[in-house]
Amino acid sequence: MSISEDSRFNTGLIISKYSSKDIVPLLPLLAIEFPDWSVKKIKSYIDIVIESKNDVSGILVAKNEALYNVGLLVYTFQQIQNKQISKTNGENLSKCLVVENLVASSPVLQKMVFLLMIEEIINIAKNHNYELIELPKLDDAYQLVNDKFNGAVIDSGNFRTFLDLNKISIPKKSL
């Protein structure tokens, strides 16, 4: 299974890294993701993510053609204990890109936004030589992700799902 180079451009959505300290453009999406948090707490969380080095964490945003933010993904790079994938070198730690938060502004766009953002996160993980992506448990919102990467999906049996990047082929690139 592979990711087509131009798949994200056929939708009218643009996926890009977000590095500005100005969270005002992201507040509508952040308010959906963190409805009980104060603006101060949200700003503190985003500051931690943005101020971290690129090899620790990051934020992706999805914008429509009018440049309105319609999706947000926060990720971290971690080492996790991995019992799902057998390793030839006997180690049980894997380099994993963890999707901490993923939100779309509209239920109508949600499935496509999630797919395009996961495709971009796969590119980032591959460029950093990571083996796994940890996602929230795949539900109906992830239907397109599950359909496209079904052979790489590892259901951990709990509240998280993994994508085995060794089973997904894409050309390496970066944002």
pLDDT tens digit sequence for 18-63: 988 888 999 999 999 999 999 999 999 988 888 876 668 899 999 9
In a domain, 102, yes or no: yes
Residue 29 covered by a domain: yes
Structural domain boundaries enclosing 120: 7-167
In a domain, 2, yes or no: no
Q: What angle do CA 47, 50, 54 make, to 5 degrees?
A: 155
**For the domain that residue 86 is a member of, what is the CATH number?**
3.40.630.30
Q: What is the pLDDT of residue 154?
A: 82
Could you give the strand order of the β-sheet that contains 57-63, starting from the edge strand earlier in sequence? Answer: 14-17, 57-63, 69-81, 93-104, 132-136, 160-164, 153-155
On the question of pLDDT at 108 being above 70, the answer is yes
Beta-carbon-side half-sphere exposure of residue 148 (alpha carbons within 13 Å): 19
Q: Does residue 131 or residue 140 have the better pLDDT?
A: 131
C-alpha angle with apex 48: 25 to 64, nearest 5 degrees? 25
Evaluate whether residue 174 is within a structural domain: no
| Total-model pTM | 0.82
Q: What is the pLDDT of residue 138?
A: 72
**Residue 173 counted as domain residue:** no
Residue 126: inside a domain, yes or no?
yes
Higher-pLDDT residue of 87, 74: 74
Domain assignment of residue 18, yes or no: yes
Is 172 a member of any domain?
no
What is the reported pLDDT for 137?
75
